[in-house]
Amino acid sequence: MDLNQFSDNQKAILKQFREAVKDCKLPDSDDAYLIRWLIARDFDIPKAEKMLRSSLEWRRQYKIDRILEDFKPPEVLTKYFSAGFVGRDITQSPLWIVRYGMSDVKGILRSVKKKDYVMYVVYLVESSIARVNADLKKFKRSPTAIVQSTIIFDMEGFSMSHITTKQAMDSAIKILQVYEANYPEFLSRVLIVNAPKIFYVCYNMLKPFLHERTRDKIQIFSHDVKQWKPVVLANVIAEETPASYGGTLADPDGNPNCVTLVNMGGEVPKSYYFSGKPDTTNKKSLTISSGSKEHLEIQVKDAGALLKWDFHSEDSDIAFAVYYKKGSELVPVVPHDRVDCHMAAEEGEIQCDEAGTYVIEFDNHFSYLRSKKIWYSISVAAASTRGANGTDLDNI
């Protein structure tokens, strides 16, 4: 896709859009970046502006601009979640392969928290963008080019275990929601191959979370290689596509799957699983009734102090957030998100930019039948007197 293909009217709307968001700190200031948001909202400026501003706030809250430096992917994801960059498609854009059917999603989600799984996918998307920006010549990018990616999803091995657990479906939906809201028009096409009949059950469950423009880019094929390999080859560079998908690329030892670029997934060893219940020593308990939430107000005396938390639930997940109390307004500091704290303790900290009242929120409003018991410890360490050993001065 290229900016030159748009009409004069659409280019005029782009100019107006740039003016409307001139106060925004953009991760990319090129027209090719801005027009993505307009395309996603049918060149409706107010809707595109709302979408972009929401995404920028998401990037700020989750520190996405530093994810490639700060996020350390859990080993179980790098070894057993089968997804990787292999080369370029026919438009000289990134080509990725995801062997989702070979990935033990159930085992992965017994070994990492859902948010880490989701952020790993964001990490891969951001790495793809960075890869192109670091080598514009290789990807033949001009200032007017709109970079997109092709993804081959291999469903060989897909089974009921990929969709029958609540965590697996919740994670898949969350990934789709994050992608649709924050990466418009980054996708060129999706080729789903080796799809068994059960996959269509999963796809029909996920379709409502996909924009129509995204659905139009997806092609699904069964195990008949005579059907899907010609389509794959029509969309990729054969020399940069693994031989197992119709190309000519292979590992140095001749492996046609190119496992040096994309692992083969496989069952996650139980040694990676979360084990046992977290310790309740020095923690207080709190019960959050079904359909309700609880707020804990924390007084922070000095700007620059560290606010730290460590909590877990006895059964099922809970939503968590941190706010700064500004008059009667609660200003989000840590975004509201559901955490799998029943699997492992949730720990974190923030540096408080301002002194004042901070509010810790445990939210169970989404659960209509089940109350949740939380064990928690919250502490504040003053910046000026916090020792080199990280001693906490107050424990709440």
Spatial distance between the Cα atoms of 239 and 66, rounded to a whole number of angstroms? 33
How many other β-carbons are positioned within 10 Å of the β-carbon of residue 300?
20
pLDDT digits (tens, 9 = 90+) for 160-217: 878 777 778 888 999 999 999 999 999 999 999 999 999 998 899 899 999 999 999 9
Spatial distance between the Cα atoms of 391 and 133, rounded to a whole number of angstroms? 42
pLDDT at residue 362 greater than cutoff 60 = yes
Pick from 287, 323, 329, 295: nearest CA to 307: 323
At 182, is the secondary structure helix, strand, or coil? Answer: helix
Domain made up of 284-381: CATH architecture: Sandwich (2.60)
pLDDT digits (tens, 9 = 90+) for 271-315: 999 876 677 888 999 999 999 999 999 999 999 899 999 999 988
Predicted pLDDT of residue 71: 94
pLDDT digits (tens, 9 = 90+) for 125-164: 999 999 988 887 777 666 667 788 999 999 999 988 787 7
Spatial distance between the Cα atoms of 154 and 221, rounded to a whole number of angstroms? 10
Predicted pLDDT of residue 167: 77
Q: Are 3 and 144 in contact (CB under 8 A)?
A: yes
pLDDT at residue 396 greater than cutoff 70 = no
Work out the burial of residue 99: count CB atoms within 10 Å of its CB; fewer than 13 is exposed, 13-18 middle, 19 or more buried: buried
pLDDT at residue 94 greater than cutoff 90 = yes
Segment 20-34 shows an average pLDDT of 91
pLDDT at residue 386 greater than cutoff 80 = no
Pair of tokens at residue 86: 């292999």
The CATH classification number of 3-62 equals 1.10.8.20
Task: Give Dmax over CA atoms of the chain in angstroms.
Answer: 69
pLDDT at residue 123 greater than cutoff 50 = yes
Which runs of E-coded beta strand occur in 143-214? 149-154, 187-193
**Above pLDDT 70, what percent of the chain?**
94
Predicted pLDDT of residue 246: 94
Q: Are 194 and 156 in contact (CB under 8 A)?
A: yes
pLDDT at residue 383 greater than cutoff 70 = no
Contacts of 332 (CB under 8 A, 6+ apart): 61, 321, 322, 323
Predicted pLDDT of residue 299: 94
Segment 49-68 shows an average pLDDT of 94
Pick from 274, 338, 350, 285: nearest CA to 311: 285
Q: Is 246 left (phi over 0), alpha (psi -120 to 50) or beta?
A: left
- Please tell me the pTM assigned to this model: 0.79
The CATH classification number of 69-272 equals 3.40.525.10
Segment 258-268 shows an average pLDDT of 95
pLDDT at residue 391 greater than cutoff 50 = no
Predicted pLDDT of residue 30: 86
| Domain boundary assignment for the chain | 3-62, 69-272, 284-381
pLDDT at residue 389 greater than cutoff 60 = no
